[in-house]
Amino acid sequence: MALPKPISIATAERICKAHAADQVIIYARTVGEGCGEHVTTYGKDKVHCAAAARIGDAIGRQVVKPVEELLSRAVKAEQELSAHKAVHNIGLPQEGYRELVWREAHEFYEAGGFDLVAHLERQRAFSHKTFGPGARTKGVIDHIRKELAEIEAQPDDIEEWVDVIILAFDGAWRAGWEPAKIVEAITTKQKKNEARKWPDWRTADPEKAIEHLRHPIDQPDRNEGRSDVVVPDDIARILVDALGVDREKVTADARLSDDLGADSLDAIEILTNIEMERDISISDTEAEAIVTVGDLASIVQMKAA
């Protein structure tokens, strides 16, 4: 059984301090062939360490088995969907294929395992059969506008909000996007939003949209002057390992979040590994000022001086 890359206790400690927590339990898992799991726990003192360790042990007993059963059902559903597609490829009518996909997705949903990709297959089959093929972009937008008006009239009605969600999904697949790509776009967008800077919601107008902070046009580019910073090999290696990017992308002016895709947990892992390898300490204030690889390299070099 191949275990996922262990998450260090130092990483758990940093998360604990960053969120003012008493205990942190991290459960990492790989699935498929050679699957395995790894639990890292941390407590701010001996009592909390012991409690976190007990919770970590309980996760293995109470969570792993149910998850494995759910994954087993998901794999079975995927195999049967693939079989249906194989039938379709040798001549099953398109409408018949969509009916089979819908039925399989419905059976999986009713079995208690919710798979968004399978659900979107189900929705697409229904929409295609009921409203016909084609983009129908203007029609979808018109319908969304009507639903938004209904939300304004009944903001506490969950069905009105769900109508907009369904219509948005409908517009996406009609624009040519497969369910798996739609789900991927959702997770990618969420990751991007989490990496952005946002204003304090407590001082924002509740009647207005809260938009992420943008650099003013006349603000000097943070990357300016960083292109001549040399990125040490050990820092580049840590970034490549943590983010799964190619070495040539790790340049001084590359932005950790926007260009290399680092999120908050990636940043914690990167800083922790650098601190351990370099035997230095990077404060939270210094960490918050890091935007580019050059920023990171400069701070590390300053610490080593």
- What residues are annotated to the active site? 263
The answer to whether 174 and 135 are in contact (CB under 8 A) is yes
Measured between its terminal Cα atoms, the distance across the chain in Å is 44
Distance, CA of 42 to CA of 226 (rounded, Å): 37
Tell me if 115 sits within 8 A of 74, measured CB to CB: yes
- Encoded amino acid at 191, one letter: K
Phi, psi of 90 (to 5 degrees): -105, 15
Q: Cα(214)–Cα(232) distance, rounded to whole angstroms?
A: 30
Strands 23-30 and 36-43: antiparallel
Distance CA 8, CA 204 (A): 38
**Token reading at 10:** 């130092």
Residue given tokens 């400069």 in the structure block: 298
Helix H, strand E, coil C: the string for 114-155 is CCHHHHHHHHHHHHHHHHCCCCCHHHHHHHHHHHHHHHHHCC
Contact predicate 274/205, CB 8 Å: no
Q: Does residue 138 sit in helix, strand or coil?
A: helix
**Token code pair at residue 166:** 């369904």
Among 140, 144, 115, 114, smallest CA distance to 127 is for 140
